[in-house]
Amino acid sequence: MRVLVACEFSGRVRDAFIARGHDAISCDLLPSERPGPHYQGNVRDILNDGWDLMVAHPPCTHLAVSGRRWFKGKEALQSEALNFVRALMNAPIFRIAVENPLSLISSQIRPADQLIQPWQFGHGELKATCLWLRGLPKLKPTCIVPGRESRLHHLSPGVDRWKERSRTYPGIAEAMADQWSDCPGALFI
C-alpha cells in the first residue's frame, strides 16, 4: 500500500508500516527525526497523490480541550485548525485515521470513533487519544499493562517539551501498522 503519515516528524508510524513492506512516507513542516522517506512541507501539497491509507496527527494546540482556559480570543486560530482537520478528513483516500487528544474536533466536526490509551498498547501511561476513522476498523488493544502514570504532564519545561509530548507511542504505531495493513478499506465506507 502507499501510506501517507501526515504531520509526523518522529517517523514512528511511517517506519512501522515500512517494516511490514509498505511504501510509506511521513510528511511534516519539520524534518524527520530519523532517516527515511519524508516530505518536508505542507501536507496539503500531496493529499491528492494517490494514497491508499493516511494516518494524520494534526496539531492540537488550538483544539485540545485540556487548553480550554486559553480558548478566549483564539477563535480565528481554532477555525483555521479545524479547517486543516477537515481538509485531512476529506482527502480523496479510502482509509483515513486522524489522531488528536480530546479535542474540539468532536464537537465541531464529528464525534471521535474511538478513544485509546497508551496503557492498552504496552506503555503504563495515561494520555487519552481520540481516533476519527474512515475505512478502517477500531484499534484493538495489543498489550494491557497496569501503570497509569501521567508522565507527559510532569515533563520539565524546555524547547523540546512539545515534541516529547506529541511523539506517537511506539506500541500504538505498531498496532496501527499491524491492524491496518490488510484492511479492505472500501468495504468499510
Binding site for ligand SAM (CB under 6 A): 7-10, 12, 27-30, 42-43, 57, 59-60, 166-168
Measured between alpha carbons, how far is 73 from 97 in angstroms, rounded to an integer? 30
Q: Which is closer to ligand SAM, CB of 10 or CB of 120?
A: 10
Tell me how far, at minimum, the Cβ of 10 lies from ligand SAM, in Å. 3
Tell me how far, at minimum, the Cβ of 187 lies from ligand SAM, in Å. 28
Q: Which is closer to ligand SAM, CB of 57 or CB of 95?
A: 57
Tell me how far, at minimum, the Cβ of 17 lies from ligand SAM, in Å. 13
Tell me how far, at minimum, the Cβ of 178 lies from ligand SAM, in Å. 17
Q: Which is closer to ligand SAM, CB of 10 or CB of 103?
A: 10
Measured between alpha carbons, how far is 54 from 5 in angstroms, rounded to an integer? 6
Measured between alpha carbons, how far is 189 from 175 in angstroms, rounded to an integer? 21
Q: Hey, which bits of 122-177 come out as E strands?
A: 129-134
Backbone angles phi, psi at 78, to 5 degrees: -65, -40
Judge contact between 177 and 20, C-beta under 8 A.
yes
Tell me how far, at minimum, the Cβ of 184 lies from ligand SAM, in Å. 26
Q: Which is closer to ligand SAM, CB of 48 or CB of 188?
A: 48
Q: Which is closer to ligand SAM, CB of 29 or CB of 77?
A: 29
Amino acid at 85: V
Judge contact between 95 and 136, C-beta under 8 A.
yes
Judge contact between 119 and 142, C-beta under 8 A.
no
